[in-house]
């Protein structure tokens, strides 16, 4: 994937996440798009309280992945690069 294509795609992914971000932020968390692989996997990083939340796996599938795939159907998967550390 060309650098400009990837940059545009990451911008579109961030736009898709704007629907979900207010919910994450209301609980003191957020998410950062780190990269998109050639096989169309979005790599994200949990931030703030999302790093320690036992609901993050559910949020990933029902919120994050749904929001991204809904607006960008070519995305195959969304994966967190920092696993949730529930205490």
pLDDT surpasses 70 at 85: no
Q: What does the mean pLDDT of the chain come to? A: 91
Q: Which strands, in side-by-side order, build the sheet including 77-80?
A: 29-36, 41-48, 77-80
What is the distance between the alpha carbons of residues 2 and 49, in angstroms, rounded to a whole number? 34
Per-residue pLDDT tens for 7-25? Answer: 999 999 999 999 999 999 9
What is the distance between the alpha carbons of residues 4 and 56, in angstroms, rounded to a whole number? 31
pLDDT surpasses 70 at 68: yes
Cα 10 to its chain centre, rounded Å, is 10
* Domain architecture of the chain: domains with CATH: 3-80 (3.30.300.130)
Question: Torsion angle of alpha carbons 82, 39, 10, 34, nearest 10°?
Answer: 20
């Amino acid at each position: 994937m060309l650098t400009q294509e990837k940059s545009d795609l990451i911008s579109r992914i961030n736009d898709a996440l704007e629907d979900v971000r207010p919910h994450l932020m209301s609980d003191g968390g957020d998410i950062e798009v780190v990269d998109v692989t050639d096989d169309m996997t979005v790599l994200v990083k949990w931030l703030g309280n999302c790093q320690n939340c036992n609901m993050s796996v559910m949020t990933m599938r029902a919120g994050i992945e749904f929001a991204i795939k809904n607006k960008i159907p070519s995305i195959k998967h969304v994966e967190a690069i920092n696993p949730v550390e529930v205490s």
